[in-house]
């Protein structure tokens, strides 16, 4: 049976249609970190401003933690300092910039405390599934996250060849209560027709828990509005729940509703 999480929004905010949708984006690469996202604070701030101008109110920066780019203390300190600087600047134009990380499954991460990688104060951790190959290690990492009481947020499963070959794998993850995060770029066809169709299957079958931008650079900015319009045309008011953060589990000192 699929686990029901306590929502991070108030009951008043769950009255769909009473307010314009507010976008909560849990996946972006706007904080410079040495990965393939923003390369400077200046570029990061430009991406943040663009996100705000296109309807995002809460944005999580989620630098990659890759096998070839782990998170030693020095890198983490630099990332947190850049985030703090950008968050102060972004607040001036109404964007709440928070920090998490995007984990690529490795055996080394199975020895780490997942709380280190939480999405801000949310009891959740963003992790990706591999584009190619088995999902076995990804499942072990998700179980490791779950074992300490956190919710795995599974980034872009529609782009995994394993899921493209067998959508039952995505259904199995959703049934375990893991939140499936579909990329906005997949929905609008940025990654090609096959991945676009995969994304829509997850949405249409009710397996997608939320949509996020996975915004990286100027050519692939952290925007959700185009994908929202596409999903809204298909689902009507039901689209709001995929974009406004209500699917996220509540955490201490977290009230996404206050941003509405």
Q: Residue 147 CB: number of other CB atoms within 10 A?
A: 9
Question: Domains in the chain and their CATH numbers?
Answer: 22-250 (3.20.20.140)
Q: What is the pLDDT of residue 7?
A: 42
Q: What is the pLDDT of residue 247?
A: 96
Does an H or E element contain 61, and which? strand 56-61
What are 144's two structure tokens? 């490791």
Coil, strand or helix at 65: strand
143 to 70, 131, 150: CA distances (angstroms): 20, 19, 10
Going residue by residue through the chain, which has 260 residues, state the pLDDT in tens, using 9 for 90 and above: 344 444 443 333 333 333 457 899 999 999 999 999 999 999 999 999 999 999 999 999 999 999 999 999 999 999 999 999 999 999 999 999 999 999 999 999 999 999 999 999 999 999 999 999 999 999 999 999 999 999 999 999 999 999 999 999 999 999 999 999 999 999 999 999 999 999 999 999 999 999 999 999 998 999 999 999 999 999 999 999 999 999 999 865 455 545 44
- Residue 189: HSE in the Cβ half-sphere, 13 Å Cα cutoff: 2
């Amino acid at each position: 049976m699929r686990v029901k999480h306590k929502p991070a929004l108030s009951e008043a905010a769950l009255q769909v249609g009473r307010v314009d949708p507010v976008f909560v984006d849990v996946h972006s690469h706007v904080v410079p970190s040495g990965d393939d996202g923003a390369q400077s604070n200046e570029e990061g701030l430009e991406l943040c401003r663009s996100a705000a101008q296109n309807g995002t109110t809460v944005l999580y920066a989620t630098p990659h933690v890759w096998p070839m780019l782990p998170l030693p203390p020095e890198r983490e300190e630099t990332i947190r300092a850049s985030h703090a600087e950008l968050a102060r600047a972004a607040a001036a134009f109404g964007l709440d910039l928070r920090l998490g990380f995007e984990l690529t499954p490795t055996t080394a991460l199975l020895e780490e405390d997942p709380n280190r990688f939480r999405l801000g104060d949310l009891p959740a951790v963003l992790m990706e599934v591999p584009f190619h190959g088995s999902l076995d290690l990804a499942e072990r990492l998700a179980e490791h996250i779950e074992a300490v009481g956190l919710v795995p947020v599974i980034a872009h499963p529609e782009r995994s060849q394993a899921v493209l070959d067998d959508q039952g794998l995505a259904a199995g993850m959703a049934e375990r209560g893991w939140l499936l995060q579909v990329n906005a770029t997949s929905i609008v066809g940025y990654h090609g027709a096959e991945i676009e169709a995969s994304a829509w299957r997850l949405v249409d079958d009710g397996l997608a828990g939320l949509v996020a931008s996975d915004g990286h650079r100027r050519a692939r900015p952290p925007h959700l509005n185009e994908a929202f319009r596409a999903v809204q045309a298909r689902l009507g008011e039901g689209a709001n729940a995929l974009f406004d953060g209500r699917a996220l589990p509540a955490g201490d000192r977290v009230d996404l509703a206050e941003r509405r």
